[in-house]
Amino acid sequence: MTLISAQLSPLTAQMLAVRDARDRAAFAALFDHFAPRLKGFIMRSGTGSGQAEEIVQDVMLTVWRKADQFDPQKAQVAAWVYQIAKNRQIDVLRKENRPLPEELKSDAQDSGRTDTDAGQILAVEQEALQLKEAISKLKPDQREMIEKAYLGELTHQEIKAQTGLPLGTIKSRIRLGLERLRHDLKDVR
């Protein structure tokens, strides 16, 4: 069965271009799309920023190297990429002899299961889009503090050193921004 390119999602079309033609521009687009999402996904399980970036690099290198194994009839691109990320993260955690978080442990023990819940991955991506939209609606000063504290992983003291703002102002802006985000995202999950 051949796929008509008009029916393909942009991600699937890019992945097929990588698989079939080793298209570097398509891979760059996939990288730009997945790298920040994968980093957040990996960090939510307790992995530090630096190590998460290394895992993302490994995952995307694997996507490039194993592109020939991608089959759009079996899985969506996101499901395939996230499965590679999950497996790589489990490998890293095992190598370090760290206890696995419960969520990863159950997946590792379920070794007979190779398919990923694509619906769950899509839900995470939709939530990420909703969060991005809600953050963009914040007042600029609140958005800046939220981004520095949560996306930049800076402490309040580091933000103070960077911006020169009083600690109380930083904390207030973060608190007000988080309250606004909670309100805007109350229906998510």
Indicate the pTM of the whole model.
0.51
Q: Which of 11-25, 109-123, 153-167 has the lowest mean pLDDT?
A: 109-123
| % residues pLDDT > 90 (the chain) | 32
Encode pLDDT of 9-58 as tens digits.
888 999 999 999 999 999 999 999 999 999 888 888 778 888 888 999 99
Domain coordinates in residue numbering, the chain: 8-119, 137-184
Q: What class has domain 8-119?
A: mainly alpha
CATH number at 137-184 = 1.10.10.10
List, in order, residues 6 or more apart from 121 with CB less than 8 Å away.
76, 78, 79, 82
Give the residue, 130 or 109, on which the prediction is more confident. 130
Q: Check whether 6 has a pLDDT greater than 60.
A: no
